[in-house]
Structure 1
Amino acid sequence: MLLKANAMTDTKNQFPQLFLRLAIAVTMLSAVADRFGWWSKENSAWGNMASFEKYTRQLTSFLPETLSTFSAYAATCLEIIFPLMLILGFKTKLAAYGSSILLLIFAISMTMALGVKAPFDYSVWVGSAAAFLLAVQSQYSFSIDHLTKK
Structure 2
Amino acid sequence: MQEKIIKLFLRAAISLGFISAVADRLGYWPKDASTWYSWDVFLEYTALINPIVPESLISTLGTIATVLEVVFACCLIIGYKTELFAKLSGFLLLSFALTMTFSTGIKGVFDYSVLAASASAFALSIIKDKYFELDALLKKNN
TM-score (norm. length: structure 1): 0.89
- Contact between 1:25 and 1:83, CA under 8 Å: does it hold in 2? yes
Q: Does residue 39 in structure 1 map to residue 51 in structure 2?
A: no
Aligned residue among 59, 77, 81 for 2:49: 59
1:24-103 to 2 correspondences below 5 Å: 24-103=14-93
Counterpart residue number, 2:123: 133
User: Given residue 36 of structure 2, which amino acid in structure 1 is its aligned partner?
Assistant: W
Q: Percent identity?
A: 43
Q: Return the offset for 1:137.
A: 2.0
1:20 aligns with 2:22: no
Shift in Å at residue 44 of structure 1?
Answer: 0.7
RMSD across aligned positions (CA): 1.0
Matched residue type, 1:59: I
Moved over 3 A (4+): none
How many residue pairs get aligned? The number is 140
Task: Quote the Cα distance in structure 1 between the aligned partners of 2:2 and 2:36.
Answer: 40
Displacement of 1:14: 0.9
Structure 1 position 147, deviation (Å): 1.4
Choose from 110, 124, 135 the match for 2:114: 124
2:35 counterpart SS class: coil
Residue 69 of structure 1 deviates from its aligned partner by: 2.2
Question: Residue 63 of structure 1: CA displacement?
Answer: 1.1
1:144 pairs, out of 134, 138, 142, with 134
- Unmatched segments (≥5 aa) in structure 2: none
Would you say the 8 A contact 1:61–1:68 is kept in 2?
A: no
